[in-house]
Amino acid sequence: INLDGDGRKLTIQGDQVVETKYGNSKKSFTRIIFLPDDVDYAAVASNLTEDGKLSIEAPKKEVLQGRSIPIRQLENAAQ
């Protein structure tokens, strides 16, 4: 299984060859998922369990809180 990211676009691809006494068969798939705009793309992670379940974690970006900016009063130097 391959997982590729390009901006908001995640592409998941998988291939499997199954061999039986009657011959071989090949299975493949491709899925494309678009992540929401508020995802932290650098923090996207994935896990694959032993039984073949793929999970993808895409945390939201941290929201920056507003802050108060103090105003300093300057003394008039032209007096």
Residue 10 CB neighbours (<10 A): 20
Q: What pLDDT tens digit does each residue of the chain (79 aa) get?
A: 999 999 899 999 999 999 989 999 999 999 999 999 999 988 999 999 999 899 999 999 887 778 888 888 888 766 5
Instruction: Report whether 16 contacts 2 (CB < 8 A).
Output: no
Residue 22 makes CB contacts below 8 A (sequence gap 6+) with none
Q: Which domains does the chain have, with CATH numbers?
A: 2-57 (2.60.40.790)
Residue 77, pLDDT score: 61
